């Protein structure tokens, strides 16, 4: 697969069809993959593809990365799950479909954290999303690399995150509250979760709005709670469950749980899953005369 990928990257750069290829490369000690931005066709051999390619690179297409935008039209190496974020970005007007060349990678799953890699991809080191993935054959692409995957996701989603959500749902309201207050109290307000989220592309985050300061900036429980709840609410109907926020959190707050819970609620209420169709806006922000709810008419 790597060979096909490199050839395509080369061709795209040489023809001038794209000005930069955003993909994965090795770190110096070849223990982890890291994002690479290739502008010179001579460098395409830096590109790699393996189960360590876990990062969601769609982040680098957002308005937060002006210097990458300045390079010119990008091609991006993307797994199906990353493409779901690209689709949301297109829906939200951040760029047009034709503004990006998507090299879709057929995927058999990645590791949850790169440190878990022992040379073999076993189910227990894969994240919940991979076990339930319905886009192993990437769904929106300009070019596909890899053999067709025959994997079919289980009918009822399974895995650790779902189990934990179920477990939490079975608890009383006060127990749940106590659980989250405790979890969020560890937050150090580093905003790593926000920085890696491809959908947190606001140039001025609400946390930085200080006239008035809706969200307290110091890392004490009240401010933490309002930050974490706002983050969750701003992703309702948008979050694709890529898991980057939880992966990046230095204090291991289970952000996947809250995200997955919201995804479930939206699925239940509106039968909507984000990141499949660029024409459909997340249901929470659409005024429609045929809304299921009658009260608004």
Q: Which residues form the interface with ligand SF4 (CB under 6 A)?
A: 187-193, 228, 248-251, 253
CB of 123 to another protein, least distance (A): 36
50 binds another protein (CB under 8 A): no
294 binds another protein (CB under 8 A): yes
What are the start-end ranges of the E strands in the chain?
Answer: 20-26, 33-38, 74-79, 101-105, 143-145
Q: In degrees rounded to 5, what are phi and psi of residue 293?
A: -80, 135
Distances in Å between the Cα of 58 and the Cα atoms of 80, 90, 207, 267, 268 are: 11, 11, 23, 24, 27
229 binds another protein (CB under 8 A): no
Nearer to another protein, 69 or 139 (CB): 69
Binds 201: which of ligand SF4, another protein, none (CB < 5-8 Å by kind):
another protein
Nearer to ligand SF4, 73 or 189 (CB): 189
How would DSSP label each residue in 38-52? E-SGGGGGG---STT
Binds 70: which of another protein, ligand SF4, none (CB < 5-8 Å by kind):
none
First to last CA, the chain: 53
CA distance 34 to 120: 19
Cα 81–57–148 angle (5° rounding)? 40
Nearer to ligand SF4, 132 or 185 (CB): 185
- Kind plus residue range of the DSSP H or E element containing 87: helix 80-91
Residue in 73, 139, 189, 234 binding another protein, rule: CB under 8 A: 234
Residue in 68, 71, 192, 205 binding another protein, rule: CB under 8 A: 205
Contact map string, positions 4 to 43, toward another protein, x by CB under 8 A: ----------------------------------------
Which one, of 176, 198, 55, lies nearest residue 127 by Cα?
55
Residues between 83 and 112 that touch another protein (CB under 8 A): 92-94
CA distance 126 to 112: 5
Nearer to ligand SF4, 78 or 88 (CB): 88
286 binds another protein (CB under 8 A): yes
Nearer to ligand SF4, 144 or 192 (CB): 192
CA distance 63 to 148: 33
Contacting residues toward another protein, per CB under 8 A: 63, 92-94, 201-206, 209, 211-212, 214, 234, 281, 285-287, 289, 294, 296-297
């Amino acid at each position: 697969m790597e060979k096909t990928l490199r050839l395509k990257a080369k061709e795209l750069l040489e023809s001038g069809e794209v000005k930069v290829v955003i993909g994965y490369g090795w770190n110096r000690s070849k223990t982890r993959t890291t994002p690479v931005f290739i502008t010179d066709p001579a460098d395409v051999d830096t590109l790699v593809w393996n189960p360590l390619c876990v990062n969601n690179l769609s982040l680098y297409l957002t308005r937060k990365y002006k210097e990458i935008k300045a390079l010119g039209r990008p091609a991006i190496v993307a797994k199906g799950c990353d493409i779901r974020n690209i689709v949301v970005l297109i829906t939200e007007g951040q760029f047009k479909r034709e503004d990006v060349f998507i090299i879709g990678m057929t995927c058999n799953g990645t590791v949850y954290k790169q440190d878990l890699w022992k040379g073999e991809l076993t189910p227990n080191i894969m994240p919940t999303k991979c076990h339930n993935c319905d886009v192993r054959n990437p769904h929106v692409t300009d070019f596909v690399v890899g053999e067709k995957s025959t994997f079919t996701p289980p009918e009822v989603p399974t895995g650790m995150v779902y189990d934990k959500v179920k477990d939490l749902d079975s608890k009383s309201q006060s127990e749940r509250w106590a659980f989250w207050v405790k979890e969020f109290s560890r937050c150090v307000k580093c905003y790593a979760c926000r920085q890696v989220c491809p959908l947190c592309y606001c140039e001025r985050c609400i946390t930085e709005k200080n006239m008035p300061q809706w969200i307290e900036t110091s890392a004490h429980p009240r401010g933490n709670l309002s930050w974490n709840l706002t983050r969750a609410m701003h992703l309702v109907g948008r979050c694709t469950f890529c898991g980057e926020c939880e992966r990046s959190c230095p204090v291991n707050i289970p952000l996947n749980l809250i995200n997955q819970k919201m995804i479930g609620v939206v699925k239940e209420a509106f039968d909507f899953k984000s990141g499949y169709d660029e024409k459909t806006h997340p249901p929470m922000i659409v005024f429609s005369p045929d809304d299921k709810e009658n009260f608004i008419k």
